[in-house]
Each structure stands twice: as structure tokens, then as C-alpha cells.
Chain A
């Protein structure tokens, strides 16, 4: 069964450093998403991406964040200058259609900012 994959599974970085989290969505999906979950809190939407453009973003997704689909398979989330409060699980998801189509989640990347 096709699945969303994410690398790395765990990323440790120093405050102020740039990190890039990588995702490979399901191959025939067109819509891509990033979510995060701070430990003990709810899963929060960050951004959605379609047709090489951001289609929607939350207030969390500020200028420190960017997304890119550099090739036909990868979908990346970049945090330009990490802060302690960026420490969280970051989940990538993809779906075939918008609306009620199911979003399939990857296993997540645990980001630890020291």
C-alpha cells in the first residue's frame, strides 16, 4: 500500500540553525500539507500546497517557514532560523483531492531545538 515517507525521523539542531524536513508524498497525490504537534498538544495545521503554490497557511507559518517541491517527488519544509519553541513532531500529509478526500500522514519527524 502506498505511504507517505518522511526523513529524518529525528533531527536535533541548535537554536538559530536552518533545518529542512523532507517528505515523499504518495505518488499520484496532488495536495500536500505540513502539520506539527508540540508534545502533549494537538496536531496543528501549518500549510497546504498545490500546483507549486501555497494554497493556505496558518498563523503559525510565519516568514521563518517555507515549503518547496524541488522535484517531482519531494516536498520539503524549511525553518530558516529555528527557535526553542519549534521543537515538535512535524507531520507531512498528502491527498488526491481537496474537500473530503482523506489525508494520508507520514510517520513524522521529531525536531529538537537545543
Chain B
């Protein structure tokens, strides 16, 4: 039962280029979406979120896009930096409990 899917387990990007991480969901009751970043030996850290009433939210180098009709969201990181190398989890919630995807491991090469 994968209500939140991150189909790419890993992504490798050159420093300075754009990183695009994708996420699909199946439950139309989800109305709030989050991205978390996780470094090894640490817990997930909140990165950015978007409500279903919006289609874009931007915070510095991070932008999240939401396409409700396609049940798809993406996280753009521009420009990518080596310190962005981490596992990125997409999460979606309809109540206050997020349902997480399996994560995408991003590696940014210098």
C-alpha cells in the first residue's frame, strides 16, 4: 500500500545544477504536502511544505510544485550544493499524520 511513491531511489547531480525530486500520491484526500531531508544518523528535518490550495511554494533555493490533477509534486533545488546530499522524503497528509514515501537519496558532486 504505497499511497506516496518516490520512484527514484537515488539521484546524482553536479554542483550548481538543478536537482529535481519527484513524488506521486494516490489518495485524493491528501491536502498538505511536505518534504523532509535526512542525513545519516539524524532524524528527518522539515524542509518545505505546500498546501493543496497552492501550486508552488518557494523558500530560497528550494521550490515545491504541486500538480493536483496529476497527483504529483516535485522539489527543485537550485543551485544544488554538496551539502544538499541527503535522503529526501516526500510526505502527504489529510489529517495531521504524514504518510511518507520511501525517500530519494540525492548526491551532489563537487
The verdict on A48 contacting chain B, using a C-beta distance below 8 Å, is yes
Task: Verify B46–A104 contact, CB threshold 8 A.
Answer: yes
A31 to B95 alpha-carbon distance, docked (Å): 14
Q: Cβ of A48: which chain B residues have Cβ within 8 Å of it?
A: 96-97
Q: Cβ of A4: which chain B residues have Cβ within 8 Å of it?
A: 43
Task: Verify A42–B102 contact, CB threshold 8 A.
Answer: yes
Q: Cβ of B43: which chain A residues have Cβ within 8 Å of it?
A: 4, 6, 91, 93, 105-108
Task: Verify A105–B45 contact, CB threshold 8 A.
Answer: yes
A93 to B44 alpha-carbon distance, docked (Å): 9
B77: shortest Cβ distance to chain A, in Å? 19
What is the total of A-B residue contacts with beta carbons within 8 Å? 51
B62: shortest Cβ distance to chain A, in Å? 14
B side interface size, CB within 8 A: 22
Q: Cβ of B95: which chain A residues have Cβ within 8 Å of it?
A: 56
* Closest Cβ neighbor of B9 among chain A residues: A40
A23: shortest Cβ distance to chain B, in Å? 11
A7: shortest Cβ distance to chain B, in Å? 13
Q: Cβ of A107: which chain B residues have Cβ within 8 Å of it?
A: 41-43
The verdict on A99 contacting chain B, using a C-beta distance below 8 Å, is yes
Task: State which residues 34-61 of B face A: CB under 8 Å.
Answer: 34, 36, 41-46, 49, 51
> Knowing A42-B102, A43-B89 touch, does A99 contact B44 (C-beta < 8 A)?
no
Residue of A42, A56, A100, A105 touching B97 (CB-CB under 8 A): A56
Q: Cβ of A102: which chain B residues have Cβ within 8 Å of it?
A: 34, 46, 49
The verdict on B99 contacting chain A, using a C-beta distance below 8 Å, is yes
Chain B residues close to A by CB (< 8 Å): 4, 32, 34, 36, 41-46, 49, 51, 89, 95-103
- Please name 19 pairs of A and B residues whose Cβ atoms are closer than 8 Å in the assembled complex, sorted by A: A33-B97, A42-B4, A42-B102, A43-B44, A43-B89, A43-B100, A45-B97, A45-B98, A56-B97, A98-B96, A99-B32, A100-B49, A100-B96, A102-B49, A104-B46, A105-B36, A106-B43, A107-B42, A108-B41
Chain A residues close to B by CB (< 8 Å): 4, 6, 31, 33, 41-45, 48, 56, 91, 93, 95, 98-108
